[in-house]
């Protein structure tokens, strides 16, 4: 992952995204292609504000799941009123389709995994609470963007760099807007190897009392998900419509 064109904030988010599993500063340095002192400075800053912690047994850096959950704890709608409902559904849909189930919430023009239930399959996409995904190239982000009114959407799109993702992802605002039109017509978003090669996600906007608070998604290897995408999209839409 090259980060030479990213700002300091962009590199910080790259660190968070890299910490799908605990890692050392040396590993982060290699993945971000920065020197070790830069990687260590980023990690310590994230540790200081509570998003990253040191594991006591091996001193590796890891995401702090409790801090990640606080990204949405102060919203107008108390998460205590709906977290159990979403988590119950995530477990249900995970078991139905055998793929990872996710609740993503917006933070700093990205989507952060607020809840994550791993796949039951041996071969699967392995992530965790706190994973960060760019809005423009992820199904979670595109589903969320598709609900925005024009003034808010226009304002948010000004800050998207389009540097993340694969060549399949939207490369500019025009391409992203075309995806959003298709999502509104279809009812759900599809990320077919746009975030990373080999992965696929289907997602819908998640609502509580009529307010969009993020997105619900189902994620797995593209080789399996491509056969399940339409059915998964319909199942996710069914749940959202009923709540």
- So where are the chain's domains? 8-63, 69-242
Q: Among 82-86, 120-124, 151-155, 215-219, where is mean pLDDT lowest?
A: 82-86
Tell me, what's the pLDDT at 8?
Answer: 66
Q: DSSP characters for 134-191?
A: ETTTSHHHHHHHTTS-HHHHHHHHTT----SS-TTS--SHHHHHHHHHHHHHHSSEEE
Q: What are the tens digits of pLDDT across the range 136-178? A: 999 999 999 999 999 999 998 988 889 889 999 999 999 999 9
Spatial separation of the C-alpha atoms in residues 178 and 186, rounded to whole Å: 12
What is the per-residue pLDDT across 24-52, written as a single tens digit (0 to 9) for each?
889 988 888 888 888 888 888 888 878 88
> Predicted confidence band at 227 (pLDDT cuts at 50, 70, 90)?
very high
Pair of tokens at residue 238: 């069914």
Q: What is the architecture of the domain spanning 69-242?
A: 2-Layer Sandwich (3.30)
pLDDT bucket at 9, cuts 50 / 70 / 90: low
97 closest CA partner among 168, 185, 200, 182 = 200
Q: Alpha-carbon distance 128 to 114, whole Å?
A: 9
Q: What is the DSSP letter of 102?
A: E
Q: Which fold has domain 8-63?
A: Arc Repressor Mutant, subunit A (1.10.10)
pLDDT value of residue 185: 96
């Amino acid at each position: 992952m090259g980060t030479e064109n990213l700002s300091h904030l962009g590199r910080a988010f790259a660190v968070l995204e890299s910490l799908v599993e605990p890692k050392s500063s040396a590993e982060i340095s290699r993945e971000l292609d920065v020197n070790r002192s830069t990687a260590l400075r980023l990690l310590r800053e994230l540790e200081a504000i509570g998003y990253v912690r040191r594991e006591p047994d091996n001193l590796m850096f890891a995401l702090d799941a409790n801090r990640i959950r606080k990204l949405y704890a102060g919203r107008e709608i108390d998460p205590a009123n709906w977290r159990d409902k979403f988590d119950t559904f995530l477990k249900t849909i995970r078991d139905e389709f055998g793929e990872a189930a996710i609740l993503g919430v917006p933070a700093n023009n990205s989507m952060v995994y607020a809840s994550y239930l791993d796949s039951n399959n041996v071969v699967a996409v392995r992530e965790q609470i706190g994973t960060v995904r760019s809005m423009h190239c992820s199904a979670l982000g595109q589903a969320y963007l598709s609900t925005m009114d024009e003034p808010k959407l226009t304002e948010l799109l000004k800050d998207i760099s389009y540097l993340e993702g694969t060549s399949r992802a939207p490369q500019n605002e025009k391409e992203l807007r075309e995806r959003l039109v298709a999502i509104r017509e279809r009812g759900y978003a599809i990320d077919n190897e746009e975030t990373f090669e080999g992965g696929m996600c289907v997602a819908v906007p998640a609502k509580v009392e009529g307010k969009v608070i993020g997105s619900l998604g189902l994620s797995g290897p593209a080789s399996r998900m491509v056969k399940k995408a339409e059915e998964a999209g319909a199942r996710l839409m069914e749940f959202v419509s009923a709540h």
